[in-house]
């Protein structure tokens, strides 16, 4: 799969300033994404934990099957 067409998924929770900043950047860059609220969706929380080694840190970002944790701005 071409990396420019890779599906981007965000695992977030309400009130997280890093999640907000990441979503703002992705929108500004025109990058489509699917957001999962791990605070209100237990299945999303379990999936995030499985993807990122059990860390409860948000945002967890999944792009093309590869998970990264955190956003430090760009």
pTM over 0.85: yes
The span from the CA of 9 to the CA of 15, in Å, is 18
The span from the CA of 37 to the CA of 13, in Å, is 5
Binned at pLDDT 50, 70 and 90, residue 50 comes out as: very high
User: What CATH number is associated with residue 39?
Assistant: 3.40.30.10
Binned at pLDDT 50, 70 and 90, residue 65 comes out as: confident
The span from the CA of 41 to the CA of 16, in Å, is 16
- What total number of domains does the chain contain? 1
DSSP character for 69? Answer: E
What pLDDT digit, counting tens, does each position of 7-30 carry?
899 999 999 999 999 999 999 999
60: in domain: yes
49: in domain: yes
The residue range of the domain holding 63 is 3-69
74: in domain: no
């Amino acid at each position: 799969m071409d990396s420019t067409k890779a599906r981007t998924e965000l695992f977030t929770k309400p009130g997280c300033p890093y999640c907000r900043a990441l979503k703002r950047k992705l929108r500004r860059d025109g990058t489509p994404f699917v957001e999962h609220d791990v605070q209100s969706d237990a299945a999303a929380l379990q999936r995030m934990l499985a993807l990122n080694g059990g860390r409860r840190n948000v945002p967890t970002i999944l792009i093309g099957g590869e998970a990264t944790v955190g956003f430090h701005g760009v």
